[in-house]
C-alpha cells in the first residue's frame, strides 16, 4: 500500500514517522516551519517543500504531528481545508484537546473530507522504530482508510470510536499513567521506610494486586525490576514536561464533562511543581519519586 502523503510537523516524533512512511514506499511531501527539521526530513527520504500548500501537491492524504491544538487548528483551517484535494483523508497524530479534535473532525466532514484523530502512545524511539500505538477516533469509513498508513508507522492501530475518541482514550490513559506512577513511587518509598528491601518489595508487588505498567516497565527506583529510565539517570523516557502537558489536557477534559478525577488532579499538581524546574522537566515521569522523597505529605 502506498500513495502520496503531505506531512506537517517533522519534530522529534514526526521525523521518525515520516521516515518510516518513506521507507515503506509512500511519497512523503514534508513541511515544517523549521529549516533544520526540513533538512533532516529530506535526509530521511522525504521530499521537503518550502511552503505548507506545496506539501499537498498530488497528495491524497495529509498527516499533522504538531505541538498543540492551536497549531493543528491553524494548519487544518488555513491550509488543509482550502488546499487539500476533494475527498482527501486528513489525520492528526498530535496530542491535543478533545474539544478541538471534535471541532476539526466535524468541520472536515462538512467539507467532504474523511478525518481522524489518531494520537500515539510510544515516544521518540517508537516513532523512529515504527512501533507506535495509534488510538483512532473517526467514522468506520475514515478509520478503514487511515488504518494502512498508520500501520506503516506503528505496531497497533485501534479504533477508539467516533471523532475525538482517540484523544479521549489518550487523555484518560495518560492521566492513569501519571496517577499510577506517583502511587508506585510512594509505595516503594513507604516500603523502604518500613524496612523492606526494594527488590524484595518489587518481587512481591509485581505479582500482586499493586502491579502496574509503572512498576514493571518504568520502575521509579534504579536497579529494581527490568531496565528502565531510572537506570539511566531518568534520561530517555517520557519527559515530565510532556506528562504535564497531557495532564493539563486531561484536567481540561474532565472539567468540560464534569468528571471527578481527584487522583488525576493530585498527580497534575505534583507534576506541575516538579516540571517547574527545567532540569527536572526533561527527566522521565518516574523521576517524580525525587519530589516525594523528603517531601511532607
Ligand atoms: P516537537 O516540538 O519536537 O515537533 C513539532 C514540530 O512541529 C516542530 O518541528 C515545529 O517546528 C513544527 N511546527 C509547529 N508549527 C508548525 C506549522 N504551523 N507547520 C508546520 N510545522 C510546524 O514535538 P514532538 O515531540 O514531535 O511532539 C509532537 C506531538 O506528539 C505533540 O502533540 C506531543 O504531545 C505528541 N507526543 C509526543 C511524544 C514524545 O515523546 N515526544 C509522545 C507521544 C505524543
State the average pLDDT over residues 252-270: 98
What mean pLDDT is reported for the chain? 96
Model confidence over 65-99: pLDDT tens digits?
A: 999 999 999 999 999 999 999 999 999 999 999 99
Q: Give 63's strand partners.
A: 7, 91
> Strands 132-137 and 120-121: what pairing?
antiparallel
- Residues 26, 5 contacting (CB under 8 angstroms): yes
Model confidence over 49-68: pLDDT tens digits?
A: 999 999 999 999 999 999 99
The pLDDT > 90 percentage for the chain reads 95
Q: Which of 52, 59, 65 is nearest to 117 (CA)?
A: 65
Q: Give 284's strand partners.
A: 239
138 pocket-lining for ligand 1 (C-beta < 6 Å) = no
Does the domain spanning 168-293 belong to CATH 1.10.3720.10?
no
- Residues 118, 170 contacting (CB under 8 angstroms): no
Tell me the best of 6, 66, 73, 119 to mutate to test the pocket of ligand 1, counting ligand atoms within 8 Å of each CB and taking the most. Answer: 66
Model confidence over 172-191: pLDDT tens digits?
A: 999 999 999 999 999 999 99
CATH number of this structure's domain 4-162: 3.40.50.720
Tell me the best of 12, 76, 169, 281 to mutate to test the pocket of ligand 1, counting ligand atoms within 8 Å of each CB and taking the most. Answer: 12
| Domain extent listing, the chain | 4-162, 168-293
State the average pLDDT over residues 16-27: 98
Report the SS3 class of residue 203: helix
State the average pLDDT over residues 42-52: 98
pLDDT of 295 reads 63
242 pocket-lining for ligand 1 (C-beta < 6 Å) = yes
In the predicted structure, residue 294 carries a pLDDT above the cut 80: no
Count CA atoms within 13 Å of residue 21 on its CB side: 27
- Whole-angstrom distance, CA of residue 197 vs CA of residue 193: 10
What positions carry a catalytic annotation? 170
- Residues 94, 119 contacting (CB under 8 angstroms): yes
**Which atom of ligand 1 is found nearest the CA of 74?**
18
Model confidence over 204-251: pLDDT tens digits?
A: 999 999 999 999 999 999 999 999 999 999 998 899 999 999 999 999
CA of 10 to the centre of ligand 1 (A): 7
State the average pLDDT over residues 11-26: 97
pTM: 0.94
- Whole-angstrom distance, CA of residue 7 vs CA of residue 17: 9
- What single DSSP character describes residue 164? T
In the predicted structure, residue 296 carries a pLDDT above the cut 90: no
User: Angle at Cα 248 formed by Cα 135 and Cα 280, nearest 5°?
Assistant: 100
Residues in the chain: 297
- Whole-angstrom distance, CA of residue 175 vs CA of residue 201: 25
pLDDT of 166 reads 98
pLDDT of 217 reads 93
User: Which residues contact residue 211 at a Cβ distance below 8 angstroms, ignoring those fewer than 6 apart?
Assistant: 205
Amino acid at each position: 500500500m502506498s500513495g502520496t502523503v503531505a506531512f506537517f510537523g517533522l519534530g522529534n516524533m514526526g521525523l521518525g514517522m515520516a521516515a518510516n512512511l518513506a521507507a515503506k514506499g509512500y511519497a512523503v511531501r514534508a513541511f515544517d516551519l523549521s529549516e533544520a527539521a526540513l533538512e533532516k526530513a529530506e535526509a530521511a527520504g522525504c521530499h521537503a517543500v518550502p511552503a505548507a500548500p506545496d506539501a499537498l501537491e498530488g497528495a491524497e492524504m495529509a498527516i499533522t504531528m504538531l505541538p498543540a491544538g492551536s497549531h493543528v487548528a491553524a494548519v487544518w483551517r488555513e491550509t488543509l481545508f482550502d488546499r487539500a484535494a476533494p475527498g482527501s483523508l486528513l489525520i492528526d497524530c498530535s496530542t491535543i484537546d478533545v474539544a478541538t479534535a471534535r471541532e476539526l473532525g466535524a468541520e472536515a466532514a462538512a467539507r467532504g473530507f474523511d478525518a481522524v484523530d489518531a494520537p500515539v502512545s510510544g515516544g521518540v524511539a517508537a516513532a523512529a522504530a515504527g512501533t507506535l500505538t495509534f488510538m483512532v477516533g473517526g467514522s468506520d469509513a475514515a478509520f478503514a482508510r487511515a488504518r494502512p498508513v498508520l500501520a506503516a508507522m506503528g505496531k497497533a492501530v485501534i479504533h477508539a470510536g467516533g471523532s475525538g475518541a482517540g484523544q479521549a482514550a489518550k487523555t484518560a490513559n495518560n492521566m492513569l499513567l501519571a496517577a499510577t506512577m506517583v502511587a508506585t513511587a510512594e509505595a516503594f518509598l513507604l516500603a523502604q521506610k518500613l524496612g523492606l528491601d526494594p527488590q524484595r518489595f518489587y518481587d512481591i508487588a509485581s505479582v500482586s494486586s499493586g502491579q502496574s505498567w509503572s512498576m514493571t516497565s518504568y520502575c521509579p527506583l534504579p536497579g529494581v525490576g527490568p531496565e528502565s529510565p531510572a537506570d539511566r539517570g531518568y534520561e530517555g523516557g517520557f519527559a515530565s514536561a510532556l506528562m504535564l502537558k497531557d495532564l493539563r489536557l486531561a484536567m481540561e477534559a474532565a472539567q468540560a464533562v464534569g468528571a471527578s478525577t481527584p487522583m488525576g488532579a493530585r498527580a497534575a499538581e505534583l507534576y506541575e511543581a516538579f516540571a517547574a524546574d527545567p532540569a527536572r522537566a526533561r527527566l522521565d515521569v518516574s523521576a517524580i519519586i525525587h519530589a516525594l522523597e523528603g517531601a511532607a505529605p
